[in-house]
Structures are given as C-alpha cells and as structure tokens.
Chain A
Amino acid sequence: MEYSTKTVGNRPPNPADRTRKSADSSDAQATHRGTAVGGGDDFPPGVSGGTAGARFTLPLVALLATSVALVAMMLWHFAMVFLTLAPASSVTHRYQKQINGYIYPEFGQNWQMFAPNPLQQNVAIGARVQTAGKAGARHTWEWANLSVPHINAMRHNPLPSHLDQNMLRRAWDFYTDNHDHKDGSPIGMRGELSTEYLERIALQHFGRKWNGERIVGVQLGSRINAVAPPRWSTQKASDNTDYQVLPWWPVADDNYREL
C-alpha cells in the first residue's frame, strides 16, 4: 500500500481517508483509526447529516462548541496582530495594554525592513581605550573602527553571519533608542543595559589588555556618512560627515565577565 498513491486526484489525504483504508485491512493499527467509529463516511461519529433526521447529538454540540471556540480565538489573534502592526490610532492607544499583553514577547513583530524608507546613511562605529601604564600614567589610544572587520567579513560572502550584520548595528540602535537625545542620559533599565552591552562589545574587540597595558576606560563614537543620492536625482549630495561621541566609560574586571 504505497502511501502517496492513496489519494485520488489532487485531494490531500485526510484521517477519514486513512480510516477507510485501515478499516479495510484487518490488522489496522489502533492509533490510526481516526474517525471511523459510527457515523457516515464524511461525518464525525455521532454526527449525521441529511436534512431529515439530523439531530443535535452530544458529539455534534461538542464539536460545534469546539469549532466556535477555536474560531473565536483565531479572530482574537488576528485582531491583536492587526492592531500591533497598524499605525497608532485612538483604538491602539486605548487598548495598548491589552494588545501588548497578548502580543509580547513571543508574537512581537515588525516588518518595516527598508520601510518606510531605507537608511540613507552608513553608520560606522568606532572605539578607543584608555590604559593604565606604569606609575599611574594614563594612555589614550587611537580610534579603532569596529565596523570595518564586520563589513570585510561580509564582503563576497553568500552567507553573512548575524554577528557581522546585526550585532553592532542593533546594539547601537538599542543604545540610541534608550538614551535621551538631548543630554544622553540613559532611560530606565533598558538604557543601563544598552550602555553595558555596547561597552562589552567594544571590550570584546580590544581584550583585557591593549598594547600590554590594562584597559581602564573605553569610549565609543559613530561616524555617519550620508549615502550620495543617485546620479539621476536632482538632490544635492551632502558632503558633511556627522560624528557622535559618547562619554568615557570606566572599565573594571566585572565588565569582562564571561568574555
């Protein structure tokens, strides 16, 4: 009995189908029997169709109740996903708590990649460290571009790693999203976490020692180059480069845990 040949035409096989087949063979396995018990061919057991003689039997009521419950849950899910994707409105504003309570964390979603506009700038993240030399002398070293190794690793690579494509980019976004744009102070627990995350990514790049001296401070910054408009565009290419420099952060052994 070839499995794929059980179906006729393009109809997908269903348990009832299999039931008919297995009922034919005398040694059919129990777990496989499906819906053959009682009832017609098409109807679940205890449920019979036909305009005359049809009754609301217990199985029919149970299955109807199940289907109604499932459909209601499905519609609820659709509504919540819709509201989490839809732009902010008075509805989403009023029911934000319920929507978030249902959607987050596991159904969280955002399909705005390259939308509404793709990023029009290349952001490079840099870092430099301060080390403690002999006799308490502090040395500040040159900036290192943290983005370049990742971009080089992705070039001519058909399968770029998330490590190169996402980690630094998203850590930087996480930081800027959770810090005050004016005075740069962290916003809540996420602000603190994002600072630590960014610091640790930079420290992983440098290691515990730099040029033989212990690292005691680290500073990060970004360089933002606007992408030149396409040549057919009348827009003028912007030739200025924006820099954003974060404050020095002290480095202790605790910042290196697990690294």
Chain B
Amino acid sequence: MNIDHSAAKVVIPSPLHTVDNVGAPGSPPDSAAKAPRRPEPAAPVSMSERLADRGARFVAFASRTHSLRQAATIRIGFGAFFAFYLLREWPNRRVLFGDLNPWAVDMARTLGSDTHSFTVLAWSGDRWWFELVYHGAIVASVLLMLGWRTRATAVLFLAGVLSVENRSPFVGDAGDDIIRIMAIYLVFTRCGHIWSLDARRWLRACTQKARREHAAVVMWLALGPLLVFLSVFNWTGWAAAFWVLWSFQGLWFAAGRWFPEHTARALLDSGAAMLHNCAMLVIAVQVCFIYGSAGLYKSQGFTWQNGSAVYYAMQLDLFRPWPWLSDLFSTHMLVTYLFCYGTVIMQISFPFTLGYRRVKNILLPLMMLEHAGIAVILGIPFLSLAMMVSDAVFLPTAFLVRVGDRVTRRTAWVRKRRHATHARTGPPPSVVLSP
C-alpha cells in the first residue's frame, strides 16, 4: 500500500444529501449509491484517514435511531398488556399480590433477602400501600401505552412491573417472566418518539410557539425525593440503577436548557440513540432465545417426538377451559402430530429465518396465529399475548408505516369531524408524499 504522508490533504466538501438518499432502514449509509456524486480523492489517503472514515461511518450508522416504529409498537403492546393483566386480576388482586396474600409480607421479605429482587410492595403490608402501588402500576401502564413523558413513565412502569411480579414470585408463569424482562429492556429504548403523546407535543412545539418543558422537569424533580427515600431505607442495586437513569435524564434536561447548541448535547443524543439500538437488538435476541430454547427443549421430549405432546397438554385440567375444543384438536392422531412437529420446527427455525425477509414475514403471522390459538385452547391468554407483543418487534417497517398512516388518517378524520377544522392535522399525506 502506498501511503504518502507528505501529500497535501485535499479537503473535500461533504456531499449534500437530500432526504431521499440518506439510506434504507437498518442499512449503513450506502456508499455505492453516493459514489457518483463524490469526486475521487486527488491524493492517496493515509491509513489513519481511512480508519477515521470507517469509524465515522460506523458511528453515523450506530447513532441513527433504528426501528422506532417497532419500539413504539411493543411499548403500546406491553403497556396495554400489563394494564389488561392488572385489570383482569383486579377482583383477585388482594389475594394474589396484596394484603390477603397467603405469601405474607414477612415471607416475601425473607425470600427477598436471599434473592434481592426489587419490590416496593414488601415495604409495607398495609392495604393502602398495596392499593396505591397496584393502581399506580395500572396508571403507569396506561400512560406508557399512550406515550406520556415516556422516558420517565417507562421507569415507573418498570418499578410497577417488578413490584407486582416480585411480590408474589409463585403465582406467575412464563408470561410474567416476559413482561418483567421486557420492561427492563424498554427503559433503554426511545419507544416514545412516535405514536405517542410525546410525539404530538413535540410536533406542536415545532409548529406553534415553543413552550418551556415545565411538566417534565417537575416530574423529574418529584422523583428525586422518592429515590432518596428508596436509597436511605431500602438500598438495593436497583436504587443505584434508578439513580443513574435519573442523573442522565437530568443531564439531558440541563443540556436542552443551557447548552442546546453545544456538541456535548448532540453527543448525548447520539449516545441515547446507540443505547436504543442496542436495547432493540437485545429485545430481538431475547425473543430468539425464547423460541430457540423452547423449541430445543421440546425436541428432546419423547412426547413431542412421538407426536402426542399436544394431546397430553390438552388433557390437563389446568389447561382445558373448553373441553370440547381440546378434544376436537387432540383426538386425531395426524392433527396432533402436525401440531407437535409444526410447533417444534417453527420454534427452532424462527431465529434462523430472520435473515430471510420473505420467510420471516410468512412465519411471523403464523406464529402469532398459533399464539392466538393456544391462548384460547389452553387458556393461557396472557402468556400468549406477551409472546405476540414480543413477536411484534420483528414486524416489517413497511407494514407498520401502512398501519400508522391508516390510523393517523382515521384519527385526523375523526378530529376534523369533531372540530370542523383543519388547522392541526396539516396537509393530507398525499401532498407531502408527492415529490
């Protein structure tokens, strides 16, 4: 390689990008497409320059926020899931998680001192505290679904999920594991950037006169004393984690308030985008882990091998809400055989089909359909719902764009009818989309 350090560096103006050639979703900046627009370097470039260029390209790719729609979808999904779950268990809440629990508060504390799991419900066994936390968790779930102050609400949602789930570790099933794990991941995503009240507010701030963000700062300040209380009276690893999240939020507010134009603020923005991208990847890989391990463990069972596992599952009293339906599906040898092998093959192969867009897009609705079937036949609606929401992280962007546009248009239409005004909805999409 001919490296000429003495060669004068030619400064090439960065090519002007138009909006439509910034790159496809999830792909690095396409250098091939831009090549004709960029003049060839006149002088050979140094190794350091090449490396810096590579690094810059990687950083540019990594600090773009990917999969925003998928993040918003699972945010809505998990928020709705948990609100639905808590409302369903509302009549049984005091026995399952509250002050009438056979798993008494002191028992929860004894086990908690060994497992170190986080739950604010162990602080007190009083009814008022339980009701406050339980209903607070419902409110946090609904607000997360709506995307109100999403960054802070996601943390409150996480605290609610952990508190309720860890209060009674012996009433949950795999569905509870999923929501607990996903609630943690969700905190690190930018799940509120679209399809949320936050997005609507940002949009208004862009079009109307900007207002100061008082509510967010007040909420942030209010969470501070809560954290102090948590740290002083119940110091756990979680308190440290919450302090870190709180500090970053504060830093972000400070940056927006005092040095919005500074490079450091932009770097914070890039860092947050990188964190989001990693969290989305972790969610996707977690779903693959779920399917992969579930499928591989099943493949070792002799009932799955001889095609009778589905029959046995449907004969269990606890998973037989509709006996006639269970019998309909489990009395035919070929049907159960196909279900057994279909399930195992789909679960094991799922992670490997993700590289093949077409196969994945066929398999995904199939899996969701199977979950829906299992929800009804085996009577495990919440586990199935949690899996369906998790699957949604793999929904194709084009599909989500279509759904989003349709919903936006519908709501715009409703709003137009209600207010008989066009002011806030802006021009119809066709106007903007046309070149």
Complex contact A10–B397 (CB within 8 A): yes
Evaluate contact between B274 and A37: CB separation under 8 angstroms. no
Do B177 and A109 have beta carbons less than 8 Å apart?
A: yes
Closest 10 CB pairs of A and B: A116-B301, A105-B117, A2-B426, A54-B52, A29-B205, A115-B297, A200-B102, A30-B260, A117-B301, A54-B53
Scoring A31, A64, A112 by chain B CB atoms within 10 A of each residue's CB, the highest score goes to A31
Contact A53 B10 (CB under 8 A): yes
Bitwise, A93-115 to B at CB < 8 A (1) or not (0) is 00000000000111111111111
B251 at interface by CB-CB < 8 Å: no
Q: Does B189 belong to the interface (CB within 8 Å)? A: no
A-B contact pairs, 20 of them (CB 8 A): A4-B194, A4-B405, A10-B397, A13-B193, A41-B22, A46-B263, A48-B14, A49-B57, A53-B49, A54-B50, A63-B59, A64-B58, A115-B300, A117-B312, A147-B317, A151-B318, A157-B379, A163-B92, A167-B171, A196-B107
With both beta carbons as reference points, the residue of chain A lying nearest to B322 in the complex is identified as A156
Residues from chain B with Cβ under 8 Å of A219 in the complex: none
Of residues 39 through 61 on chain A, the ones whose CB sits less than 8 Å from some CB of chain B are 39-56, 59-60
The answer to whether A200 and B184 touch (CB under 8 A), given A12-B67, A52-B45, is no
Complex CA distance for A158 and B377, rounded to whole angstroms: 9
Chain B contacts for A21, CB-based, 8 A: 206
Within 8 A of B (CB), among A69-102: 70-71, 73-74, 77-78, 81-82, 85-86
Query: B263 — which chain A residues lie within 8 A by C-beta?
Result: 37-38, 45-46, 59
Is A236 among interface residues, defined by CB-CB distance under 8 A?
no
User: Is A12 within 8 A of B206, CB to CB?
Assistant: no
Known contacts A43-B56, A158-B321; A165 and B49 CB within 8 A of each other: no
- Judge whether B49 and A78 touch: CB under 8 Å: no
With an 8 A cutoff between CB atoms, is B12 at the interface?
A: yes
Question: What separation, in Å, do the CA atoms of A155 and B321 have in the docked complex?
Answer: 4
- Confirm or deny: B180 has a beta carbon within 8 angstroms of a beta carbon on chain A: yes
Q: Is A33 an interface residue (CB 8 A)?
A: yes
Beta-carbon contact of A120 and B303 below 8 Å: yes
Interface residues of A (CB under 8 A from B): 1-18, 20-22, 25, 27-56, 59-60, 62-64, 66-67, 70-71, 73-74, 77-78, 81-82, 85-86, 104-120, 122, 124, 147, 151, 154-163, 165-167, 169-171, 174, 189-190, 193, 196-197, 200-201, 203-204, 227-233, 257-259
Q: Are B102 and A78 in contact, with the CB atoms below 8 A?
A: no
Whether the pair B64, A14 counts as a contact (CB closer than 8 A) is yes
Q: Within 8 Å of chain A (Cβ to Cβ): is B421?
A: no
User: In the assembled complex, which residues on chain B have CB atoms less than 8 Å from the CB atom of A34?
Assistant: 266, 269
Partner of A154, one of B166, B318, B426: B318
Residues of B within 8 A of A147 (CB): 317
Residues of B close to A10: CB separation below 8 A: 25, 397-398, 401
Residues A156 and B298 in contact, CB atoms below 8 Å apart: no
Instruction: Please determine whether A170 and B202 come into contact, CB atoms closer than 8 angstroms.
Output: no
Asked if A258 and B100 sit within 8 Å, CB to CB, the answer is yes
Instruction: Say whether B416 faces chain A, with CB atoms less than 8 Å apart.
Output: no
How many whole Å from B134's CB to the nearest CB in chain A?
A: 14
**Which of A21, A77, A161, A228 is most buried by chain B, counting CB atoms within 10 A of its CB?**
A161
Report the nearest B residue to A85, measured CB to CB: B293
From B135-143, B225-233, B279-287, B360-368, give the one contacting chain A.
B279-287
Inter-chain contact A119/B52, CB cutoff 8 Å = no
Whether the Cβ atoms of A56 and B286 lie closer than 8 Å is no
The answer to whether B107 and A258 touch across the interface, beta carbons within 8 angstroms, is no
Q: Give the CA-CA distance A111 to B295 in the complex, in Å.
A: 9
Q: Quick one: which of A42, A67, A204 contacts B17, CB cutoff 8 A? A: A42
Q: Which of B104, B290, B322 touches A200 (beta carbons < 8 Å)? A: B104
Q: Are A115 and B210 in contact (CB under 8 A)?
A: no
Return chain B residues, CB-CB under 8 Å to A229: 308
Q: Is the CB of B181 within 8 A of A107?
A: yes
Question: Judging by beta carbons under 8 Å apart, are B270 and A44 in contact?
Answer: yes
Contact flags B382-410 to A (C-beta < 8 A → 1, else 0): 11000000000000011001001100100
- B59-84, CB under 8 A of A: which get 1 and which 0? 11011111111000000000000000
Complex contact A44–B266 (CB within 8 A): yes
Residue of chain A at shortest CB distance from B101: A258
B170 in contact with A8 (CB, 8 Å): no
Q: In chain B, what residue has the closest Cβ to A6?
A: B432
B364 to chain A, nearest CB (A): 17
B336 close to chain A: CB less than 8 A: yes
Known: A6-B432, A17-B19. 10 other contacts (CB 8 A): A10-B397, A13-B68, A29-B205, A40-B17, A43-B60, A49-B60, A63-B59, A86-B293, A160-B379, A227-B315
Contact of A1 among B194, B260, B261, B426 (CB under 8 A): B426
Instruction: Give the Cβ gap from A108 to chain B, nearest Cβ, in Å.
Output: 7
Name the B residues within 8 Å of A169 (CB-CB): 318
Contact B24 A109 (CB under 8 A): no
CA distance A71 to B58 in the complex (A): 13
Give Cα distance in the complex from A13 to B192, angstroms. Answer: 12
Looking across the interface, which residue of chain A has its beta carbon closest to that of B430? A5
Residues of chain B contacted by A48 (CB below 8 angstroms)? 14, 56
B102, B261, B321: which contacts A160 (Cβ < 8 A)? B321
Contact present for A15 and B273 (CB under 8 Å): yes
Within the complex, which residue of B103, B317, B426 is in contact with A197, where a contact is CB–CB below 8 Å? B103
Q: Are B401 and A7 interface neighbours, CB within 8 A?
A: yes
Give every chain A residue within 8 A of B302 (Cβ-Cβ).
117
Chain A residues within 8 Å of B274, by CB:
63, 66-67, 70
Contact B256 A230 (CB under 8 A): no
A11 contacts B322, C-beta separation under 8 Å:
no
CA distance A124 to B22 in the complex (A): 63
Q: What's the minimum C-beta distance from A92 to chain B, rounded to whole angstroms?
A: 14
Contacts of A158 in B (CB 8 A): 321, 376, 379, 381
Q: Is the CB of B425 within 8 A of A230?
A: no
Q: Which residues of A contact B172 (CB under 8 A)?
A: 162, 166, 170
Q: Is the beta-carbon distance between A106 and B184 smaller than 8 angstroms?
A: yes
User: Cβ of B293: which chain A residues have Cβ within 8 Å of it?
Assistant: 85-86, 111-112
Q: Which of B99, B110, B379, B429 contacts A165 (CB 8 A)?
A: B379
What is the distance, in angstroms, from A32's C-beta to the closest C-beta of chain B? 6
